[in-house]
Chains A and B, each alone.
Chain A
Amino acid sequence: MEATEEQLILATGGYDHTIKVWQAHTGNCIKTMRFVETSQVNALDRTPDKTRLAACGYQCIRLYDLESNCTAPVINFDGVQKNVTRLGFQEDGNWMFTAGEDHRVRIWDMISAPPHCSRVFDCQAPVNAACLHPNQVEIAMGSQNGGVYLWDVKSEVHEQLVPEVDASIQDVAISPDGHYMAAANNKGNCYIWQLSSSPSQHLSTMSPKKKIQAHSRSILRCKFSPDSRLLVTTSGDGTACIWKTEDFTKWRELSIKNYWVWDAAFSADSKWLFTASSDGIARLWKLHTKNCVRDYTGHTKAITALSFKDEIVAD
């Protein structure tokens, strides 16, 4: 096997309580780790140094070492009461955020000796989604009662919006250029806001930009591409749709018939897309041709989360 730094890794996790690590370009499974026996994997993210993989699920948050052969976690969170729906890292790995159905989004200091909680935000409803703004201090959140929040962790100011009543926000995303925020709900609608900020203010201002009727069924994830020119929405209707952020028109539709598309991730050059679906197969799509070029087969049940960290190479 090649050296680790040369190796591009795709991590997937799902309802079979396992997390699998794949060699991205061959589709070979490198490693399988047991997750918690009672939980699916809700979200996966890798530390910015790529050495660790964080996973969250029902009543658990775990961090795994990707470099050792050990499949046991290196960090385990105790006393988690409910589903932890999202987690993510600050770009230097200094802190991690978690969002859970206990209504709270927590910030974890990962550099002090025992990691500890340094901020808490209460959404007053189960939190389904959270996402870090590229400015590394604002967090967007979406809750089950339909609320969308933007929270500045530094100054602890926040703002709340409810784009649609009686709809649960399933995912939120902020484009890497910081221009747009997207929130997708269980009615298949995706709302876009334009974000703007000035040096004087703490929190970005949100101005409604567009509402996309993206899917016929619940949207499960939305994500912007690294170049901020594409937005992908994955849904329970068996499709992943890719929208151009220029005018938010549909550019591509990838179909996995009769299965839910749970998660998706772009390559660094925004030319490839990984999808995770309920048929237990992760796929790699070439967006230019809309062809599925790789299957990652091995999960015995639905894949609900994936993580892929790519790099830009200089020509």
Chain B
Amino acid sequence: MATYSNQHWLLSHIRNSFISTDDTGICETVMLSDDMPKRYLWKFQTANTAMEAYRRSHRAAQQRKSQIPKTPDTATPMQRTGPLQHMMPPRIADPPLHEVDFVCYPGLDLSDDEDLDMSTHSFDIQMYPEVGAHRFRSNTAQKLEKLDIAKRKAARIKSINYNEEVLPPDRKDFFKRKVLIEQPIDKPSTSAAAAVRATAINRTELASDDDLSDGGVKSMLSEQMARSPKQTQNRFIEYARFDGTAQVGMPTKRINVYVNMLPEPERNYPLKICVLSTAKIIEVIGLVCYKTTLQYPDAVQLQSVQHYALYMTEDNDDMDDFPPLDNREPCSKFGFSHLTLAERRPLAPVTRIDYHNQLGTKSMTSEEDKAAMADAALNALQNFNLNGDVPDAGGGDSPLDHIKEYEQRLLNHNDMLEAPMHRTYRVSIIDKRFFKCDVTLAVSGERIEIDQHKNTKFWTQRKPLSTPIELVAHCEIVEQRQLKALLRIWLKSNSSSSLPTSCTSAPSTTSITTLIAGNANSSFVHSPASPRYPWMYSSSGFGFFTTISNIRFKHYDFVTDVHTAEQIRNKLNCILEMRASDIRREFLQQRERKQEKQLAKRQLKL
């Protein structure tokens, strides 16, 4: 087959096969930055254009040369290679690829940036989970083995025919009437005794309500219960239900888990667990904790499940440097035979992978401290919940305050991971006084885009807008009704003139009042926090700007349901926070200054 001799095709094929058979669930995040076929393609193309340029100049030189009398040695190809290497542009680090070395496979070179999007990977390939773990055996072989096992089991099971003929017992004493020891006779046999007892009962009932216990009898259960206080109830018992051992008709998974927290000899041996395939990773962690506490009751004091994470592991219990498995994924997604349960590591390596663009990486490192803080807060929360059902009444400095403080700073790991992903929302933009039109708002780690729906009326037709995330300053919900919310996104205006020309969608102030009917006198009433100045108000009917420190801000207003609004706000602010953008800081500072001024003014008035 001709294609097999094509390196580019082979590289792509290997890569795609790897992705499609991968059961770790994270290969894509790891391989995303390492698209070899693409890199070679790029190199090839650059090299190719460079070579074209060279060839052209060389031909020109040759033409020039041909005008002067030819010497035999300049025409030898041996010497021609010399200047070729010499003239190669220095920006190509790798040795250049010649067309003979690297032939781009037709079709594979058509892709461009959009290929970075994971959604363009083929979804047609359906894989059975068994592939990769072990090879398929034929159905007959499997059936035969099952039959064999069943036969061997059956040999040990005694079988009785239910519909057998009735065979009366030979022995006369087979059914023996037992004479009951008439204990109750000495109890309430006479009515008088019963009456006495009844009054006694009534009395004790009032006193202790323990009327029915007679002192002499004690069961083994009572004894054992007395010996084992309430605390012995396993904390992870809620996860016991995910145990797949002996489950009938439910898909299960067997995993060997090394428990890193255990002391030396024990932690070298994996805990063999069988878990329901439907269980999420967090529930698998719970089950492992449960099993660990059962098997090694005194070895280790485990903390809450959030404290731990499952990491990929080689059979020799070497933990890999990959991020932990996602807590929310069902365990059936992963095909590991061995895993390690360890304390959750700081978030940094996880986030680095997801932000493959330079900017993201940079800002994430600055987030590391915050992540550690979030972890600490999480732990604090859990410990608080678990250790003290009733918070210390005596302790004046309640940990609750700290927790609340932390909670505000606490960015959910998952939110942070998800925030830069591209998502679209259907919202209505409030536009030019009172028009509302439906648009698609797309938010990603790189930009926000506003695109109008095709079916809107002709007079509101406008071009789609795209704003790089660097220019976005803030997002807030300015008004919230029962169902609808008014969402405002603040951006840096990129126009230099005071009368904006580019921001076609920038709403006027009057549009803000559309939700607040009959309250149009001042925008301060309903959005007191927006950093605007009445005297700067532009009558043009477009946006208006603040000019302090030379950064101007404009805003778009959207109407959507409360839930979506919150989603967009959280996502966008999460992105902005992670980028630690200067624009945002500037915006918030301006707003603060303005609020202070207002306050001062109000005090002056008073």
Contact = CB atoms under 8 A, between A and B. Distances in A.
Interface of A: 8, 16-18, 24-29, 32-35, 37, 61, 70-81, 91, 94-95, 106, 108-109, 114-120, 134-137, 153-154, 177-179, 227-230, 244, 246, 251, 267-272, 280, 287-288, 293-295, 297-300, 310-313, 315
A228 B184 contact: yes
A267 B217 CA distance: 11
B219 A269 contact: yes
A216 B246 CA distance: 37
A167 to B, nearest CB: 29
A25 B229 CA distance: 9
Interface in B97-151: none
A26 B232 contact: yes
Given A109-B169, A177-B183, A230-B212, A267 B221 contact: yes
Interface string B147-179: 000000100111111111111110000111111
A34 B246 contact: yes
B168 A118 contact: yes
A91 to B, nearest CB: 7
Given A74-B158, A267-B222, A268-B221, A25 B228 contact: yes
B456 interface: no
Contacts of A116: 160, 164, 167
A181 to B, nearest CB: 14
B1 interface: no
A71 B156 CA distance: 12
Contacts of B243: 29, 32, 298
Interface string B213-244: 11011111111110110101110011011010
B163 A79 contact: yes
B55 to A, nearest CB: 72
A26 B233 contact: yes
A300 B107 CA distance: 51
A31 to B, nearest CB: 8
Main secondary structure of the interface of A (DSSP, over half): loop
A203 B566 CA distance: 76
Main secondary structure of the interface of B (DSSP, over half): loop
A198 to B, nearest CB: 12
A25 B246 contact: no
Contacts of A72: 153, 156-157
11 contacts: A73-B157, A75-B158, A76-B158, A109-B169, A109-B174, A117-B164, A134-B180, A269-B219, A269-B221, A300-B241, A300-B276
B219 A271 contact: yes
Contacts of B176: 136-137, 154
Contact of B234 (A27, A135, A230, A311): A27
Contacts of A298: 240-241, 243
B395 interface: no
A118 B180 contact: no
A94 B213 contact: no
B221 A25 contact: yes
B248 A32 contact: no
Nearest to B164: A117
Q: 3 tightest A-B contacts by CB?
A: A268-B219, A269-B219, A17-B248
A91 B178 contact: yes
A135 B221 contact: no
Contacts of A271: 213, 219, 222
B479 to A, nearest CB: 40
Given A227-B217, A293-B225, A78 B246 contact: no
A297 B209 contact: no
B250 interface: yes
A119 B168 contact: yes
Nearest to A229: B212
A269 B217 contact: yes
Contact of A312 (B178, B217, B247): B217
B224 A25 contact: yes
A25 B231 CA distance: 11
B294 interface: yes
A76 B213 CA distance: 41
B217 A79 contact: no
A77 B159 CA distance: 6
A51 B234 CA distance: 27
Contact of B162 (A17, A25, A61, A109): A61
Given A114-B158, A177-B184, A227-B217, A135 B177 contact: yes
Contacts of A313: 218-220, 223
Given A32-B246, A74-B158, A295 B241 contact: no
Given A95-B174, A118-B174, A27 B237 contact: yes
B224 A27 contact: no
Contact of B166 (A70, A77, A118, A268): A118
A297 B227 CA distance: 21
A200 to B, nearest CB: 12
A145 to B, nearest CB: 23
B124 to A, nearest CB: 35
A76 B238 contact: no
Given A28-B294, A117-B167, A251-B212, A135 B248 contact: no
Contact of A26 (B158, B223, B228, B238): B228
Contacts of A294: 233
Nearest to A17: B248
Contact of B210 (A35, A95, A288): A288
Contact of A297 (B167, B220, B222, B237): B237
A217 B174 CA distance: 41
Given A29-B243, A300-B250, 7 more contacts: A78-B159, A118-B174, A120-B166, A136-B175, A137-B178, A228-B184, A311-B219
Contacts of B174: 94-95, 109, 118
Given A137-B176, A227-B217, A269 B157 contact: no
B263 interface: no
B394 interface: no
Contacts of B179: 135
Contacts of A136: 175-178
Nearest to B188: A246
B234 A8 contact: no
A72 B165 CA distance: 27
A93 B169 CA distance: 15
Contact of B248 (A8, A34, A269): A34
B527 interface: no
Q: Which of B169, B198, B247, B249 has the most CB of A within 10 A?
A: B169
B6 interface: no
A134 B241 CA distance: 37
B567 interface: no
A8 B222 CA distance: 11
A180 B508 CA distance: 86
A251 B212 CA distance: 10
B225 A25 contact: yes
B245 interface: yes
Contacts of A135: 177-180
Contacts of A35: 248
